[in-house]
A and B are shown apart, each in its own frame.
Chain A
């Protein structure tokens, strides 16, 4: 996978509400509009809280399990 150009937001180690607060801040803060963003988390509840917030902002979400207790959520602008 050529993931080099995909920007990464690493919120591993953070618990609720920070994964979604930081994701929202990043999505809302960029004026040019982020096309794609990988969010790395090790907090399972974030998998059910970040996607609805991203979808509300017009992103689709794909979740991959990276290993024990770690996930990557790829947000792509629809």
Chain B
């Protein structure tokens, strides 16, 4: 049912072509990234572990071409759901693992405490406005925050522009956060499913998994209604080869062909679980928020003390951590070499410049919207959605639904832009 395996079917397998310069460059980046991990580990062992895991995170995003923007957008635009299905599978896996970890931290969910570091975020106007704005922004920019980050490493110049936009947007949010806090966020409850209606862990897990299955079926129904063609996977006939060629052709499905998004979802779910056992679930906007505050400082703007943000946890809540070698740094910056390694081994690295200037306008506009929105919702598609639903947090579902509404609006916009 996957379309990914079709992609390279008519090109030669890796084994039959000479080792390219990109492959050699890939080995150099692997070496440099591991050296970086080694030097970090001498002073910050935990950060080094997160760095290596972030490399894997970036590699997985790149190899599975994991794209939250397309997951939401293509459902409305083409009735295509293979990206969304991968995300749902990943969240299902992470739900099981996160629950085990949270149960270990808080054995009795009714006692009034929330598991530390889980992405249980406020539910209210902030997450609805943030979700809709984020959904519109990611469709206009052509990628969400994590998508733009790994595409930066693949050589997409427009994604660099989008991330600059995200940083600007987070700066704007920083300057208006205290208004939002007083106006709404300070009164918004954090709803943790195991602690309400006597659900407990079992009820919350069952409810979450049923919800995911229901959405999976809905996505399948939308595909069916659109008559989407599921191409057959043609088995490739590989000529007789020597041992070296055979070993290299075994590496083809991992390093050359794109991974099916379902596999990507499973791997991302597992990475999220391991990340949580080290410290906290996946999230990428915290470091960008730090960058935006650094930028404001350099421009001579007084960065206000952000009311209540540190009590919220999640992504941006950690942006106040001192020092360069923080955990948010390791996750966000560490995914870049991982994605670069994936692109180089696949021979897919290329500096890509949009031909039309309006694409740059789209990237910066969409980026600013995503930046502001991810600050408001205390996370992006990764932190406030992919890590929040498995935290058994209601906020993840609300953010997801709001993003869907935003993405639908976004598709109407890009249809007119052309």
Among the listed B7, B20, B70, which residue makes an inter-chain contact with A47, where contact means beta carbons less than 8 Å apart? B7
* Residues in A neighbouring B353, C-beta threshold 8 A: 13
| Interface contact tally, CB-CB below 8 A | 109
Are B229 and A52 interface neighbours, CB within 8 A?
yes
A24 to B330, CA, bound (A): 41
Which A residues fall within an 8 A CB radius of B? 12-18, 20-21, 24, 42-45, 47-49, 51-53, 55-56, 61-65, 68-71
Q: Is B354 an interface residue (CB 8 A)?
A: yes
Per a CB cutoff under 8 Å, which of A44, A53, A68 touches B258? A44
Q: Does more than half of chain B's interface fall in helix, strand or loop, or is it mixed?
A: loop
Chain A residue nearest to B232 in the complex (CB): A55
| Alpha-carbon gap, A25 to B258, bound state (A) | 26
A52 touches B7 (CB 8 A): no
Q: Which of B1-28 contact A (CB under 8 A)?
A: 3-4, 6-12, 20, 22
Interchain nearest-CB distance for B135 vs A (Å): 14
Chain B residues proximal to chain A, CB less than 8 Å: 3-4, 6-12, 20, 22, 65, 67, 69-70, 73-74, 77-78, 80, 82, 142-143, 151, 155-156, 158, 227-231, 258, 346-350, 352-355, 359, 414
User: What distance in Å separates the Cβ of B226 from its nearest Cβ neighbour in chain A?
Assistant: 8
Residue of B9, B82, B156 touching A15 (CB-CB under 8 A) = B156
C-alpha spacing A56/B151, complex, angstroms: 29
A residues less than 8 Å from B230 (CB atoms): 52
| A65–B70 touching, CB < 8 Å | no
26 pairs, A vs B, C-beta closer than 8 Å = A13-B354, A15-B142, A15-B158, A16-B143, A44-B7, A44-B348, A47-B8, A47-B258, A48-B4, A48-B65, A49-B3, A49-B70, A51-B6, A52-B3, A52-B228, A52-B229, A52-B230, A55-B229, A55-B231, A61-B6, A63-B6, A63-B9, A65-B8, A68-B347, A68-B350, A69-B347
